[in-house]
A = this chain, B = another copy of it.
Amino acid sequence: MGAPVNPGRVTSVDVARHVGVSQSTVSRTFSNDSTVAPETRRKVLQAAIELGYTPNAIARSLSMQQTLIVGIMVAHSSSPFQPYAMEKLIQGLQRIGRQALVFTPGPDQEFDDVLPIVLQYQVDALIVTAATLSSERLSDFERKGTPVILFNRYTPGEATSAVCCDNIEGGRMVANLLLDAGHKRLAYIAGNQDSSTNRDRMKGFTDRLWERGAIKPLVEQAGYTYEEGYAAARRLLARDDPPDAIFCAGDIIALGALDQARDAGVKVPQELSVIGFDDIPMASWSAYSLTTVREPIDEMIDLTMQLLVERLENPDTEPVIKLLPGTLVRRRTARLPGS
């Protein structure tokens, strides 16, 4: 190639020449697991420090046919849950010796537009936390043998693994709590309609209400933002028959609803119970003290890493969908049973 050789670039060949061994030996020294004489290893490492040599992960990736890079697709989201989960995911990947190449479609970008680039970078696997995605594109990955894991969402019947909180059961828990506390006029503020998360929380909630003979809850549409929660709660509270309890599809919506209640002079929890879902850090702040369902985020991360490693080590592993139970966290925005 005619490109000028970067004189500052130190390669394994330079180290080899400096020590008087072959490039193979340098490579084996840095691969650790090979058979290199202790004395040779010492000399190689010594020379590497002197020359300022660092192994080239790109070249290794090309040669080994694996990059140790995992792609993460995060949706744009105003909920703090996404970045929170992302940080944990990245740290989880580092723990299993992988790096995170992160993609977030911009406001004017489609999820599908970004996927080809992810493919080009030969990621060993892909973790998707984006709410909406057309699964057609994802089959490109499976065809290539690249495992895809959905995080905090799932699509039943697809050939992709998923790790998710048991949102249906979570919704049922909330229904039980509210009915036990004697609430009669219930409402649900929905998040993005096309997310499985929102669907399941609502389904568990309404199913359980039905089973226990309660009337159908009011439903208001929102998205996972504070502002939409605020606005949706306003619509609910302005009704002639306002609800006495609101279950929100996410904490961030619930915080908006709480502020709406406060601004409207509605006392929480005496006149209105508000329950969220996720248990984001803000939920525990004293200004809110939100009763909510906690997602078992650490367990979800650990399980995701486990599935990842399994599928990387044994590509024939079948995709699985794992649901982990959430925990009801009783704080001060919901009436207690018997009060």
Contact = CB atoms under 8 A, between A and B. Distances in A.
A259 B288 CA distance: 10
Contacts of A61: 58
A270 interface: no
Given A8-B144, A62-B62, A83-B87, A102 B100 contact: yes
Contacts of A255: 285, 287
Contacts of A65: 3, 6, 9
B119 A54 contact: yes
A67 B56 CA distance: 12
A57 interface: yes
Interface in A88-105: 90-91, 94-95, 99-104
Contact of A58 (B1, B78, B122, B282): B122
Given A58-B62, A67-B58, A95-B106, A52 B87 contact: no
Contacts of A288: 287
Contacts of A213: none
A91 B104 contact: yes
A296 interface: no
Contact of A57 (B6, B80, B90, B120): B120
Interface string A262-277: 1100000000000000
A90 B144 CA distance: 26
A115 to B, nearest CB: 10
Contact of A285 (B3, B69, B259): B259
A287 B288 CA distance: 9
Given A65-B6, A87-B76, A57 B121 contact: yes
A86 to B, nearest CB: 7
Interface residues of A, number: 64
B91 A106 contact: yes
Interface string A1-41: 10100101100000000000000000000000000000000
Given A1-B63, A95-B106, A122 B287 contact: no
A311 to B, nearest CB: 16
Interface of A: 1, 3, 6, 8-9, 52, 54-59, 61-65, 67, 69, 74, 76, 78, 80, 83-84, 86-87, 90-91, 94-95, 99-104, 106, 109, 114, 116-117, 119-122, 140, 143-145, 226, 230, 255-256, 258-259, 262-263, 281-282, 285-288
23 contacts: A9-B65, A9-B144, A55-B120, A56-B120, A57-B121, A58-B61, A58-B122, A78-B281, A83-B83, A83-B87, A87-B104, A90-B102, A94-B109, A95-B106, A100-B102, A102-B102, A226-B282, A255-B287, A256-B285, A258-B287, A259-B286, A282-B282, A287-B288
